[in-house]
Homo-oligomer: A and B are copies of this chain.
Amino acid sequence: MSFIEKLKNAWVSNNSLLCIGLDPDTEKFPDLFKTMAKPEAVFAFNKAIIDATHDLVCAYKPQIAYFSAEAAETSLEQTIAYIKTQYPHIPVILDAKRGDIGSTAQKYAAEAFERYQADAVTVNPYLGLDSITPFTAYRERGTILLCRTSNSGAADLQDLSVDGIPLYQKVAITARDHWNSHNNCLLVVGATWPEQMAAIRQLVGDMPFLVPGVGAQGGDVNAMVKAGKTADGNGLIISSSRAVLYASNGDDFAQAARAVALSLRQQINVARA
């Protein structure tokens, strides 16, 4: 089953557009993890979060930087393998924002899709078509291209005017017309700017969006969902990380994470009703 099909099934079966971003920051872990070695703690924390939320999400999104900084690649392998074994209907998006020339991009695609067995990966489009093709060549996997990100610096380049439209819209149009020949591209569109999301939705039809920036990054769920949903009320993978993961730093962290995830799913479902 392709990533897109798996995603669509998870939207329905869990009645959820919510994705939980797995950004395991050991400094924010509850005390009960402090006695473990870091890589061991990272997997144990992720496992607890996943077990507490697997019926509430349409995807998990591990952020590879949090693993790489701690030399915890093994924990990332374990985390993804755990989801695939225990909850195989939930797709895994590796948030890596890779981007390089073709021969190197092949190695990054192998990292994401063969080593880690991710269902999809985020990719930076600045190097253009031949940097993207090695990812989209994995036809059953998803390639999620940065379009308009949620951070303040995004405006530096992404909002520059190109042929009378902002660069991020040019990226959306190029993805639609030139980079998506296998129908396995998606776009990253930040939650903080609903009017920009609405403009991108106009351009790309039903292409799904990965939407980071909900929760700790302060996106307005209601405006964002209305701006980005497709006609059938889906089309979004709305990712929250810190607000869920670190809802409590006590022994109840997993239940607290579940409560936040339930609330976010509900807010999203009200907004898309």
Residues of A within 8 A of B (CB): 23, 63, 65-66, 68-69, 71, 73, 97-105, 107-108, 110-111, 114-115, 124-132, 146, 149-158, 160-163, 167, 170-171, 174, 178, 212
Contacts and interface: CB of A to CB of B under 8 A. Distances in A.
A66 B109 CA distance: 11
A149 B65 contact: no
7 contacts: A68-B107, A69-B107, A69-B115, A71-B115, A97-B98, A101-B149, A160-B167
A261 B120 CA distance: 39
A63 B104 contact: yes
Oligomeric state, in copies? 2
Judged by DSSP, the binding face of A is helix
Given A102-B151, A128-B156, 5 more contacts: A69-B107, A69-B108, A101-B150, A127-B154, A157-B167
A125 to B, nearest CB: 6
Contact of A69 (B101, B111, B156): B111
